Structure 1
């Protein structure tokens, strides 16, 4: 169930946090090619199972960029849960050091300010380590899980196990930073899950891996069909662990339409149409002085004759 929120302010009650006026104003690392794939996977689920239901889950939210985007695909009867530490203390020293180094300015209020600039209600928010998520979300209820929390191996390993437990049989999971050089723990945990837990990768980008514990073949075929018509994306197919794995590059990718901010400035009014000036009325030539005298002095019959010959 979604929840409403009171007005978002800083520590000083008079200090209102800035509200983004466009999706680009929201800070975060959510590149156009991944926006395109989120749109494709979530849209594919809608199109292939229009009557189905499945909840959405994000582990690690930062300032809400991907959460704002994902929430646009929430259907009636579905629940969206976001889990993050935000201002809470980290559960262990290594995690605390990572938070202080990378997310020192992160606050829940900033997330709420951003999210409520695009959506009427907040998602279900779990402010806690991601290790608690299996006690907050029912097993087998999620159709899409985005994992973007801690980069430490032990924590990512736990997030993978949680995603597997919470996903529906054909649900999709997305892992961020699976190949970044500063996050070797993520890479080790994700590829370890491919080798040991039955995780089947479907597609990778420069930052994310998308996979399923279900049957990847229908997804792979449908995605390749979609990519065949894209001229702004390069893609190739590799064989990994005995299955095809799609690779995508799209530095100049055109992303899908972004959610619209409720604080977006109104477009300038259209200029008023130019005033229409009516054409001047025709001016009849004034009769000459001679003709005026003739009209006044001569008999009417002569005057009519002169008038009929006037040019």
Structure 2
């Protein structure tokens, strides 16, 4: 077995140093930060051992967050092309269009602004990951690499092989209109490969090949205590699926940068927003525009002119 590269490319002084996680460019919403925190803490509380893996890292925002949950004796592996050429013309075109400024050096500068040591870095297509990470060794896998169906399908097969029996996998962009290949691969795995969805947010799907029922029940118990998250349960492919609306989500505490924070307007250093106090009896936050299911029916079934009129009526009554 080949082992991941732990060498760090020297980082020069010309790269900006983030003073907080929000300074790192990337797409990692507060609702998903809360869910990463819940799943990873849940695993720690129940002594579920295993390594962490991220396929596709961009400039390191979610990797920095994940690295804070690494325990002694565990490995964190990050796989990305960074500056390497893409393995085929389709992937090369996607990289040129979306990630033209992506570099491993920038990732390292960002990560080392928050952590003392880099994760194990695999600078290669994600198709090599099963030769670099031991089978059944990972408790948490985050997949946010290529959006092309063939590559995502391969990443799913790799995740199934690398996860522990109780491990959790997270897919980014499973519903984005510019990433139909991700949706096809993920729902295809639900239909044919035994992947059990746990919950979805606006951008990510969380699943497992393990005991989904117990984990989903514990997740619902936690969601019932949150005043900043709306959730509902749908029947999908013969099993419950938790939908989470996190537009009002308050992010958990972030890793602290080793660099000096910029003074805020009131003269105080920037600090992460505190997680609000929760109450099991608290009702979900009020939402404008009518009940979620009714608004969905209005939007999907009625003519546009009538839809707009009804939406305005909902808003006046809210």
TM-score by length of 1: 0.82
- Aligned to 1:163, which of 143, 159, 162? 159
1:61 and 1:67 in contact (8 A); partners too: yes
Partner residue in 1 for 2:244: 248
Match of 2:172 in 1: 176
- What's the secondary structure of 2:219's corresponding residue? helix
Partner Cα distance (2:148, 2:6) in 1? 31
Give me the whole-angstrom Cα distance separating, in 2, the residues matched to 1:109 and 1:20. Answer: 14
Q: Please state if 1:107 is matched with 2:103.
A: yes
TM-score normalised to the size of structure 2? 0.80
SS of residue in 1 equivalent to 2:186:
helix
> Which residue of structure 1 aligns with residue 221 of structure 2?
225
Distance 1:60 1:155, change over 3 A: same
Match of 1:82 among 61, 78, 82: 78
Q: Distance in 2 between matches of 1:2 and 1:257?
A: 30
- Partner of residue 203 from structure 1, selected from 199, 205, 208: 199
Unmatched segments (≥5 aa) in structure 2: 269-318
Query: What is the rounded CA distance, in whole Å, between the counterparts of 1:65 and 1:96 in structure 2?
Result: 23
The total of aligned residue pairs comes to 262
The whole-number CA distance in structure 1 between the counterparts of 2:52 and 2:109 is: 21
The one of 5, 10, 17 aligned to 2:8:
5
Secondary structure class of the residue paired with 1:110:
helix
CA distance in 1, matches of 2:24, 2:54: 17
Counterpart-to-counterpart distance in 2, 1:32 and 1:53? 26
The aligned counterpart of 1:132 is 128
Q: Which has the larger radius of gyration?
A: 1
Q: Tell me the distance in 2 between the aligned counterparts of 1:6 and 1:151.
A: 28
Instruction: Provide the rounded CA distance (Å) in 1 between the counterparts of 2:112 and 2:146.
Output: 25
Q: State the Cα distance separating 1:225 from its structure 2 match.
A: 0.5
Instruction: Report the counterpart of residue 189 of structure 1 in structure 2.
Output: 185
Alpha-carbon distance, 1:53 to partner: 2.0
Shift of 1:241: 1.2
SS state of the match for residue 239, structure 1?
A: strand
Question: For the Cα contact (< 8 Å) 1:2–1:121, is it kept in 2?
Answer: no
Task: Tell me the distance in 2 between the aligned counterparts of 1:152 and 1:102.
Answer: 13
Runs (5+) with no aligned partner, structure 1? 10-14, 270-311
Match of 1:47 in 2: 45
SS of the counterpart of 2:165? Answer: strand
Shift of 1:22: 0.9
Q: Could you give the per-residue CA deviations for residues 262-287 of structure 1, whole angstroms, max 9, x where no partner exists?
A: 00338779xxxxxxxxxxxxxxxxxx
Tell me if structure 2 keeps the 8 A contact 1:236–1:247: yes
Paired with 2:100 and 2:260, the residues of 1 have a C-alpha distance of 28
Query: Which 4+ runs in 1 deviate beyond 2 A?
Result: 1-7, 264-269
| RMSD between aligned residues | 1.5
**Cα distance 1:6–1:95, how it changes in 2: closer, same or farther (>3 A)?**
closer
Measured in 2, the distance between the counterparts of 1:211 and 1:244 equals 12
Question: Helix, strand or coil: the match of 1:256?
Answer: coil
Deviations 1:127-157 (A, max 9, x none): 0000000000010000000000000000000
CA drift of 1:3 comes to: 3.7
- Structure 1 contact 2–122 (Cα < 8 Å) conserved: no
1:54 to 1:202, Cα distance in 2 relative to 1, 3 A: same
1:257 has 2:253 as partner = yes
